Amino acid sequence: MDLYHKFCSAVDHKKLWPKEERCLNKDHIKIFRRFDFIKILNDTFGTFQITDEDEIGREEIYWRLVRPDCEDDVGPLHADSWFWELNNSKEKDSKRFKIWIPIFCEENETGFMYASGSHKRKWHYDSVLKDGKFKPIPKINENEIIVSKFMGKPGDIILFNDKLIHGGYSTSNKTRVSLEFTLNIN
């Protein structure tokens, strides 16, 4: 997978990998739910659900693929809570945390960046209807925010408040693959 960028010019990347195609199927979700770190999450948070934010009929655990030096594969800085607010989700007012795991990445080039403490502040954004869903357009003055890159290695797990300003970035040598999902805490 980390060499995907070397042969992907033969395919239409966006059409080949829509989100629904990148979501694990029900059998894989059952296997995933048996991982040790899921047990740790249960011990920490108690009972939780993994959200079905796009209403595909199952928990959404999905992977992302970001080609080197391809800014089209990453979006702008954002807070995941904005998507819930804009799209009138049934889980809109739930307490949510995001899990993000780099699977293939260069050490200390995970492709994840964040603004520490940004979840404590109200940020403004506009929106646009794209692909049948409202998407936020951040109104963040880059002089107001300090963004850090998460320094880690494949398999490190990041858990963050869904109000945290964060985003992805493309690296320069390998295709980056990450896995993510949202916890809905009861």
Q: Where does the chain show beta strands of DSSP type E?
A: 48-50, 62-66, 95-104, 112-114, 125-130, 133-138, 148-149, 158-161, 166-168, 176-185
Residues 6+ apart with CB under 8 A from 22: 62, 63, 64, 65
48, two tokens = 């939780």
Mean pLDDT of 123-135: 91
CATH of 4-185, one of 2.60.120.620, 3.90.76.10, 2.40.50.100, 3.40.640.10: 2.60.120.620
Question: What's the burial of 109, exposed, middle or buried (CB within 10 Å: 0-12/13-18/19+)?
Answer: buried
Closest CA to 164 of 70, 94, 75, 97: 97
CB of 147 closer than 8 Å to CB of 114 = yes
pTM of the model: 0.91
77, two tokens = 């800085």
Residue 13 confidence class, pLDDT cut points 50, 70, 90:
confident
State pLDDT tens for residues 59-117.
Answer: 999 999 999 988 889 988 999 999 988 987 666 567 899 999 999 998 889 999 999 99
Residue 37 has pLDDT above 80, yes or no: yes
Predicted confidence at residue 183, as pLDDT, reads: 94
Mean pLDDT of 11-31: 91
Partners of 45 in the beta sheet? none
Q: How far is CA 186 from CA 96, 108, 120, in A?
A: 9, 34, 21
